[in-house]
A and B are shown apart, each in its own frame.
Chain A
Amino acid sequence: GAGVSQSPSNKVTEKGKDVELRCDPISGHTALYWYRQSLGQGLEFLIYFQGNSAPDKSGLPSDRFSAERTGGSVSTLTIQRTQQEDSAVYLCASSQTSGGGQETQYFGPGTRLLVL
């Protein structure tokens, strides 16, 4: 596609429920990244994929967070048993390759998650 797309744009859920956030990267981009932006923590890196592999998951804030990527394209970020502190904007980015991060990352519009 022309840019990185994310869905849903907005998500309101109740504490304790599971949510899935989707990212569709720019066509042909092999690297995909997840970030989140919250008032208290600013913009923070969560995880990246090179193809379908995630070399480093250390940025995920807890074991309630998981991500997968299939077919080297679409990725899903899943948050289990959501908590109010998970409320944030979740951003996805992609780049042509990863290769030490030496490529421009292009960001999607984000998913605004509110946990009540």
Chain B
Amino acid sequence: GIQVEQSPPDLILQEGANSTLRCNFSDSVNNLQWFHQNPWGQLINLFYIPSGTKQNGRLSATTVATERYSLLYISSSQTTDSGVYFCAVVWRGGADGLTFGKGTHLIIQP
């Protein structure tokens, strides 16, 4: 199957700082999604981005499919950005379910 690795595993920042989260995957994908899991466990869609660049407010993401990685950028962090960020992919050679990375646990301190 496909491997998905996220880095860093943990990140602690002060409010207002910028951050970059990385997702590496080991094979071709049909789908790549970034999620934010809030303290209540809800997975919130951030981006559907199997390739290219997208922006939504303070968040942006870039996927370079040929080099098998994706980056999530968070600018001007707020305490409400705290939580776990997951990258998930659908492997082109497998079933249609998402394979998740282990996540990046982000803590934004006031």
Bound CA–CA A100/B29 (angstroms): 10
The verdict on A109 contacting chain B, using a C-beta distance below 8 Å, is yes
A35 → chain B closest CB, angstroms = 7
Bound CA–CA A33/B43 (angstroms): 14
The verdict on A59 contacting chain B, using a C-beta distance below 8 Å, is yes
Bound CA–CA A44/B48 (angstroms): 19
Question: In the complex the two chains form, is A31's CB within 8 Å of B95's CB?
Answer: no
Name the residue on B nearest A47 (C-beta): B97
Bound CA–CA A4/B15 (angstroms): 32
Question: In the complex the two chains form, is B96's CB within 8 Å of A101's CB?
Answer: yes
A37 → chain B closest CB, angstroms = 8
Stretch of B16-24, B66-74, B98-106 at the chain-chain interface: B98-106
In-complex Cβ contact of B42 among A50, A103, A104, A107 (8 A): A107
| Those of B41-80 within 8 Å (CB) of chain A | 41-43, 45, 48, 50
Question: In the complex the two chains form, is B86's CB within 8 Å of A110's CB?
Answer: no
What residues on A are CB-neighbors of B99 within 8 Å?
45
> Known interface pairs A101-B31, A102-B50. Does A109 touch B96 (Cβ–Cβ under 8 Å)?
no
What residues on B are CB-neighbors of A33 within 8 Å?
96-98
Bound CA–CA A100/B96 (angstroms): 6
The verdict on A42 contacting chain B, using a C-beta distance below 8 Å, is yes
| Those of A75-111 within 8 Å (CB) of chain B | 89, 91, 93, 98-107, 109-110
> Known interface pairs A100-B90, A103-B31, A104-B33. Does A91 touch B95 (Cβ–Cβ under 8 Å)?
no
Question: In the complex the two chains form, is B43's CB within 8 Å of A101's CB?
Answer: no
Question: In the complex the two chains form, is B95's CB within 8 Å of A59's CB?
Answer: yes
Bound CA–CA A59/B98 (angstroms): 11
Question: In the complex the two chains form, is B41's CB within 8 Å of A101's CB?
Answer: no
Given contacts A43-B98, A45-B99, A89-B41, 14 further A-B contacts (CB under 8 A): A35-B98, A42-B103, A100-B92, A100-B96, A101-B95, A101-B96, A101-B97, A104-B31, A104-B33, A105-B31, A105-B98, A106-B45, A109-B41, A110-B42
What are 6 A-B pairs with beta-carbon distances under 8 A? Answer: A59-B95, A101-B90, A101-B95, A101-B97, A104-B33, A104-B45
